[in-house]
Structure 1
Amino acid sequence: MPRFAANLSMMYPQHDFLARFSAAASDGFKGVEYLFPYDFKAEEIKLRLDDFGLTQALFNAPPGDFTKGERGIASLPGRESEFRDGFQKALNYAAVLGNDRIHVMAGLLPSEDLRQKHHAVYLENLSFAAQQAAKVGLTVLIEPINTRDIPGFFLNRQDQGQAVLREVGADNLRVQFDCYHCQIVEGDVTSKLRRDFAGIGHIQIAGVPDRHEPSVGEVNYPWLFEEIDRLGYTGWVGCEYRPKGDTSEGLQWLRDWQARHPA
């Protein structure tokens, strides 16, 4: 049965961030993920993980100035030093929090005319990140993201992500497969999972088109959960969605699944 991790950047919005760990544990989650931990000391977050028996599954490396619309700097020329410093900060947090995966956001592409230049920077930065992460047994993740949610994002398709893996050639570089983004950009999610499974290092879910619970929308998630099991996936499945109403009430999809598939 898939292991589901609550995304605390989106779920339980009625609580302050540090109170969301308790809420997730109360709903039966064993793992958590979120975008960024850097507003808090790593030790402060670690206490929450330990107090509530939670595993840290994933977080993102620093993305640049998120409040000003930046969505990663890994592909941005001239920001290489900032990227390296930020990735080291992420490694320092992971050493305390215990996660073995860090997501690196590619950033925005101002113009298609600049793609080749950004691509070269992206490969160089990912190679550096993978080398540093390998020293401490961590995996680096990249994620194709749809351009409706993030217009101009550098990486959009699963085949693009897999091509980057081949170009960098690092054993600890994998694609973060978000079913929501994949469905919006290209569809045929099951076939993409099957085709690219060897290169997938993390899976995320949300309903399409509105990014609510996976029980809401056009994607047949029970089918996908079965397929994830058939493929032999043993990692976390991040619930990266915005609850339509109360988070706990909206988890009926998870309770129903667990009732049909007891551990």
Structure 2
Amino acid sequence: MLNRILVALVGIPLLMTMLLKGGFLLLLFVNFVILVGLFEFYKMAEIGGKKADVNLGYFAGLAIPNIIYFSNANDTTLILMPLTMLTIILIGKKVLQNKVENSSRDIGITVLGVVYVSGLFSHLLLMNYLPNGGKWLLSIQILVWVCDSFAYFVGMGIGRKIFKRGFSSISPKKSIEGSIGGTVFTMLTIYLINKYFNIFGADVSTVMVLLVGFLISIVAQIGDLGESMFKREFKVKDSGRLLGEHGGILDRFDSMLFVVPTVYYLLKLI
């Protein structure tokens, strides 16, 4: 418990500052999360019997956020370059090794790690370039915390009282009541955030604000369950122990991996 409190007291203010301010500090943070996240993902995969080419994965994974930052996200072909070259090199390496057995598995898990961890999390940098990008990043993190916290508290309070079955076989402890509670409070929170801080930056109807809140909640829960799915497949409890009782980096940012890209493209559309 003491470890959880200390991590929260130090980590939350630092995280909120980096998300709001953006810039080079955000780049360093994104690089750190991607590096540790890739290590955790590949380590879990190894425990689960999969063999990734970790060095190539690290190189491609770290190239993506730095290309985005130093090119100001102006050239989308450059952003795709690490994934393109990674795929070519991985297949070429297997061909030169004359290796057939488990080739698609090894190549697939390497590329999946880069797309899942780096490709998704690098959207924090893309979001930072949008109007009110810093406010949006901070708001998204708050909304993810709200969704996760109220899903837990509502689930603990009235879980399985109305709906007897669990929310998902991937994570049997989660209840439908908890999921609904997380969604309702996420929608209420985004309404209040927009009312007082105008994160949309324009006149947007209340219905639209609530719909975005609903979408964020759904995607956040999918992100959480997605990481749980990998952990169940690889037969591990936590992605790592870097944050002590909080688990690993992926355990803390699994929802952000999904929500930030979703909101980024939604804002680009509207």
TM-score by length of 1: 0.28
Greater helix share, structure number: 2
Greater Rg over alpha carbons, structure: 2
TM-score by length of 2: 0.27
Structure with larger RCO (C-alpha < 8 A, sep 6+)? 2
